[in-house]
Amino acid sequence: MKSITYLMLIPVFVLLVACSKPFEFKLLNEQQQERVKNELQELNTKITLVQFTQEFECESCETARTLMTEIAHLVPNIRLEVYDLQKDAAIAQKYGVDKIPATVILRERKDTNVRIYGVPGGYEFPAFLESLQMIGGELPALSSQTKASLQQVEAPVVLEVMVTPT
């Protein structure tokens, strides 16, 4: 009986030690952390970042996951879910994700149809933060002319923006 009690205490102790460690930022320095907090403090809706990676992460997969983890740690209204593209194929298929690293952005658990492939770093980072602001804040009002133009679109539209480092 003592050995069973002893074995049960070890995992609890390890868990307590793991939980007591402060979160370590690996990508965002203090200035960047403050920028993220300041720019995203006004989010009035819950955002979920659905991150797809794989068990043996490539360098950009690990970087993307780390970045999303740090952002979710800094902003109370942002939650992160991490999935393996192969093991969680049904979830990936649900969101139309077929490559990694990929991040799907949900607003109040509803798909916004925004996908980020790769790492939104460097010059992409401010645009990524702005996207989160727009998705998590008040949705922008469209002019009546824009609404009328959108009503005329009959076929599905896929807009892809490709960004390469320079």
What does the pLDDT look like over 42-69, one tens digit per residue?
A: 898 999 999 999 988 888 999 999 999 9
Rounded to an integer, the average pLDDT of 129-145 is 85
User: Which residue has 């679109």 as its token pair?
Assistant: 153
What is the reported pLDDT for 25? 81
Q: How confident is the model at residue 163 (pLDDT cuts 50, 70, 90)?
A: low
Q: 116 lies in which domain range? A: 47-137
Residue 14 lies in a domain: no
The DSSP line for the chain is: -HHHHHHHHHHHHHHHHHHHSPP--SS--HHHHHHHHHHHTT--S-EEEEEEE-SS--HHHHHHHHHHHHHHHH-TTEEEEEEETTTTHHHHHHTT--SSSEEEEEETTEEEEEEEES---TTHHHHHHHHHHHHHSPPPPPPHHHHHHHHT--S-----------
Phi/psi at 135 (5° precision): -70, -40
Let me know: does 54 contact 16? Beta carbons within 8 Å: no
Residue 9 lies in a domain: no
Residue 84 lies in a domain: yes
Residue 20 lies in a domain: no
Residue 166 lies in a domain: no
Q: What is the pLDDT of residues 72-103, one digit of tens each?
A: 999 999 999 999 999 999 999 999 999 999 99
What is the reported pLDDT for 116? 92
Residue 161 lies in a domain: no
Rounded to whole angstroms, the Cα distance separating 106 from 81 reads 11
Residue % of the chain over a pLDDT of 90: 55
* DSSP-assigned beta bridge partners for residue 117: 102
Residue 8 lies in a domain: no
Mean of all residue pLDDT scores within the chain: 83
> Letter for the amino acid at 147?
K
Q: What is the pLDDT of residues 4-54, one digit of tens each?
A: 333 333 333 333 444 445 678 889 999 999 999 999 988 989 999 999 999
Rounded to whole angstroms, the Cα distance separating 117 from 51 reads 10
Angle, CA 112 vertex, CA 96 and CA 142 arms, to 5°: 140
* Number of structural domains found in the chain: 1
Residue 60 lies in a domain: yes
What is the reported pLDDT for 3? 35
Phi/psi at 134 (5° precision): -70, -40
Q: Give the CATH number of the domain where residue 86 resides.
A: 3.40.30.10
What is the reported pLDDT for 132? 93
